[in-house]
Homo-oligomer: A and B are copies of this chain.
Amino acid sequence: MSGEAAFIAALRAIATSDAARGLADDAAVLEIGGSRLVLTMDTIVEGIHFLPKDPAETVAWKLVATNVSDLAAKGARPRGCLLSYALSNDAAWNARFLTGLEKACGSFAIPLLGGDTVGHVSGSPRSFALVALGEPMEGVNVPSRSGAHPGDTIWVSGTIGDAGLGLALLQERLQADEASQAALISAYREPRPSVALGLALVPLVSAMMDISDGLLIDTQRLADASGRSAIIELDKVPLSPALLQTVGDDLESRISAASAGDDYCLLFTAPQAHEALLMAAAKEQDAVLYKVGAIGSGEGLTLLHNGAPVPLPDHLGFQH
């Protein structure tokens, strides 16, 4: 067991409240009076979750967006956030961070409620934490990772792998034409989770989470949490024009895309009978849903490409 896995196992032994959901979900669900509250916290560290050269505006945007993405995946309407900010002496960087923060809070309609500013120790990586609070849709269960049933279809709500290529471009591991480059880097730096889509889908899903670490690893987590198996059909995974333009469409590029992180779209399962309702709900939000696989009994993740089995790659996604 890795150091992090052992640590999280030990944390789990402390987090025994029902509201903690065994620390196995993306969010906690707390009952307060007659109301429920969805809570999520994400921390980003320079050099791990963002690049030192990323613009401060987009660092702030991404911090808010990744938390909002967790709320969207729980079908919760954003109600507020708290920020822990490491304040460096770089006043221009701090000011640009605030510009991005204001833009993101406005765009996702999530009021900044408070937080804490601490001195940043010069020379150490910047680190920021955000807690987001959301109010789930009344009368609807807050979906977890663990509700998938055999026969359910696996869906995603957006193209896969763009942000991973954006990171590769920024790390100069890849080249792309100008338009593709802009689209892929924007996918990495400025994810755009859709709260309205999460709210529209939540009554119809059996399990839902966002894709933060990669389609394959996150599907495996969902299947494991549900005690079920999952099949992903790589040829059904939606790829953007920018991705196809940059790395082409072959098995390797599809596996890469499906194991890259930072997609921040929805990954969910639903009974086959809900397909027409799901498509209608998405259409109302001007969104497109893609069927990428199915849940089975048993356990484990299976990959198919054009109907033929494909061995699992060593690396299913980003593990941090």
Contact = CB atoms under 8 A, between A and B. Distances in A.
Q: How large is the interface on A (under 10, 10 to 19, 20 to 34, 35 or more residues)?
A: 35 or more
A87 B37 contact: no
A79 B117 CA distance: 24
A147 interface: no
B34 A33 contact: yes
A95 interface: yes
A30 B80 CA distance: 8
Contacts of A121: 45, 47-48, 124-125
A154 interface: no
B40 A105 contact: no
Interface string A308-320: 0000000000001
Contacts of A179: none
Given A28-B80, A84-B84, A320-B118, A14 B125 contact: no
Contacts of A116: 41-43, 129
Interface in A31-85: 32-35, 37, 39-45, 47-49, 79-80, 82-85
A19 B128 CA distance: 22
B131 A45 contact: no
A186 interface: no
A304 interface: no
A23 B114 contact: yes
Interface in A116-172: 116-119, 121, 123-125, 127, 129, 131, 133, 135
Contacts of A124: 121, 123-125
B20 A135 contact: no
Contact of A3 (B10, B11, B33, B87): B87
A133 B30 contact: yes
Interface in A209-242: none
A88 to B, nearest CB: 9
Interface string A1-36: 001101110110011110111010001101011110
B102 A14 contact: yes
A42 B82 CA distance: 10
Nearest to A115: B41
Nearest to A105: B14
A43 B11 contact: no
Q: Output the residue of A3, A21, A43, A113 with the most chain B CB within 10 A.
A: A113
B320 A113 contact: no
A38 to B, nearest CB: 10
A98 B6 contact: no
Interface of A: 3-4, 6-8, 10-11, 14-17, 19-21, 23, 27-28, 30, 32-35, 37, 39-45, 47-49, 79-80, 82-87, 89, 91, 94-95, 98, 101-102, 105, 111-119, 121, 123-125, 127, 129, 131, 133, 135, 320
